[in-house]
Structure 1
């Protein structure tokens, strides 16, 4: 039995090593969407003519997550030298944010931070020539494909930068950060007729530096058969649909920097005299479709 167990472990290790040596290649993919944030004169110009908006659809914070402690506003989005900055900083004073619970009750939440968010506008135009698919109100984006972000994480205890895809029953977290040396990726799936399912993975970044010291590329390949994650074009893991299914619908593309309620701004890198802040810096966001 021990020999069999040792053999299974060896086979798993060999498989992981072989997969890890297969870099992400682009020859079978066609670029269908790209924003490198180089063409906007200002955030106001970006707001007027980009495909992005700067707050979630219904609220200025994700009220369903009890640990989130931030208020999203366009003033926390900045453009610098062809990069987009989503900046988290403490509010001058906490604000009481009113909202309704899922069962319709009025309640409030005390928020201590402000931060930046982008996601695709509801009127982001459909382009069937690029492989886009039909949509319904409130659902837009691309169904299946290769989704990618090149970014630099600001760091600081309690910061929570993320790049993710959302289509109601399915949420694919391309990455979630916060720890200087760790990032995670996750798949969430649930419908009214199926119980909630999720599968997460935490990756420790090797080498002499950490994830805050430079730009990194986080990618996910989403097909009907599986969801596969890459960091700097190196394979991290593959989740087959037999383990976690995904819902066949166009996804919203979201990048944001949440702040947890255990945050310590004194650990944040700073940037404004007398006030700490953390900037999630995005070089580009791209979407590819499989070549036919």
Structure 2
């Protein structure tokens, strides 16, 4: 029997591990609500759950995964190092605390949440993540919100390439140059805020028209676009119907014309902070 989870492609990462290309995010969802939302997501067929210390819901995510009855190896769990925890000793303590809150054993992926160049600790923090990986305490390590210069520095100073860079990415901020840099380095691009929250993206006439042609929603069009261009994508919702709909993007195909129209929507406009000045 074909299940929703079996339709989601896996992306092979630089270290030989693989990650589901379509997952579930829990940003701005409190701990109890995250537990319920993740339970719905796992029941719907999601197998990638993305959390972070900042979100305050690692414990709820862990409870939902444990209660799902799914084998631990079937659920890919990502969490992140917050800005106040950068530097070797703090990184080690923060990692231990995240593992304890999740209660799921070895995390699948641990990311540096922001470079915070003003602190000048992201390279030291990255080398510490590589130590944790080499010690078998986390399967894969990566970064989030890193610009090409940040990536070049950590690779140069550690000899290790992040497997993932999770960045703001949606049709209004398509990050072409950064995606090209990722492709050259073998880094997978993961999109946060993939549906362009609070931008009016899903009411854009171009997307509404494309959705109408395919008999789907604008959100489904945007998620299909992400998958087509190779992004890993982690939409967030606490509504069961929308959680299911966001996974139901494998029954239609965007045309070359659709892609050309979406490419024309790029405004270079951020919802979140500029990584070059965040925390400066």
**Which entry has the higher C-alpha Rg, 1 or 2?**
1
The higher relative CO (CA closer than 8 Å, separation ≥ 6) is in 1
Q: Which has the higher strand share?
A: 1
TM-score, scaled relative to structure 2: 0.25
TM-score, scaled relative to structure 1: 0.24
Q: Which has the higher helix share?
A: 2
